[in-house]
Homo-oligomer: A and B are copies of this chain.
Amino acid sequence: MANQDQTDNRVVIGVDLGGTKVLAAVITESGEILSRAKKKTKPEKPPEEILGRVAACCREAAEGAGIALDAIQGVGIGSPGPLDPDKGIVIETPNMNLTNAPVTAFLQKELGIPVFLDNDVNVGTLGEYVYGAGKGLKHVVGIFMGTGIGGGVIVDGKLLHGFSYNAGELGHMKICAGGDVCGCGQKGCLEAYASKTAMIKRFKNAVNSGRKTILTKLVGNDWSKLTSRVFLKAVEEKDELVTKEVRRAARYTGVAVGSLLNILSPEMVVIGGGLVEALGDRVLKIIRKYAKENSFPITFQDVQIVAAALGDDAGILGAAALAWRNLNERKS
């Protein structure tokens, strides 16, 4: 508990629950991370076991910070969805055995402190909003480009949940009506053009049709090796295929961002994920150019289109922010 004055000795636990691993961290209201813990999710196990592992991870984080569980204000959790944050229930998760699991009720009983749940990408956006790139603003859109593309929308300082609680599915906005088929089954989604999955599909086709690329050497037939670092290396070595595909993904992302400026008019669009982390301004410049071409001068003017600032910590920090917001709302 070093470096903390009297006004900031309250802490929460932020949990990033993913299909592979659970991360938990003890975090102050100003966003200082006091301790971290990590466990495998074992997503195929029964819900009680998965959630039991989450609870154990929370206990480990508390121990690491030297703070008793009952001295912790609450727990925030970001989980894949769709889910119902009000009821604290995961409605469905394709890659984890948590369908209809009463996440907050189970963990509240297990840990004895308040637990709050939201969608992982909403939580990541909230993290960037409260502790990262979007600090101090009011209207922020988050787009996270990975295997899929997720999004979160902050309107007037609050996460937009909408009627179904599942607003902000920005990877599944349509940028080409009737266009490329997406993993979700719909057509023309942003994700079908600018996700890593979409890019790998096109790389494979190119390689199969005899196209020369450094990827053959760097990843061979194992596309799981296609990390952001490989993207960076291929672009730096001016590999034509990769450079062209990265630009294409950035162009389509720019069109989507432009469209979102006209719909939502945020003051900042935060873009996260490996591609932007590795290639930074090389990608952002193209996104900005196409966003400008696809929005009105008045909705583009003074907008910041920036890289996410928190990297992998957006999940735990956003989950902590979720807990703080709910706790402070209860008090007021």
Interface residues of A (CB under 8 A from B): 82, 91, 138-139, 151, 153, 155-156, 158, 160-170, 172-179, 184, 186-188, 251-252, 255-256, 258-260, 262-267, 293-296, 298-299, 301-303
Contact = CB atoms under 8 A, between A and B. Distances in A.
Contacts of A163: 138-139, 265-267, 302-303
B166 A298 contact: yes
B296 A172 contact: yes
The A interface, classified by DSSP as helix, strand, loop or mixed, is loop
A186 B295 CA distance: 8
B160 A155 contact: yes
Contact of A155 (B138, B155, B255): B155
Contact of A177 (B184, B255, B298): B255
Contacts of A166: 265, 296, 298-299
Count this chain's copies in the assembly: 2
A261 B176 CA distance: 16
Contacts of A256: 174
Contacts of A176: 175-177, 179
Nearest to A84: B298
A199 to B, nearest CB: 16
A72 B180 CA distance: 56
B298 A186 contact: no
Nearest to A174: B259
A169 B252 contact: no
Contacts of A138: 163
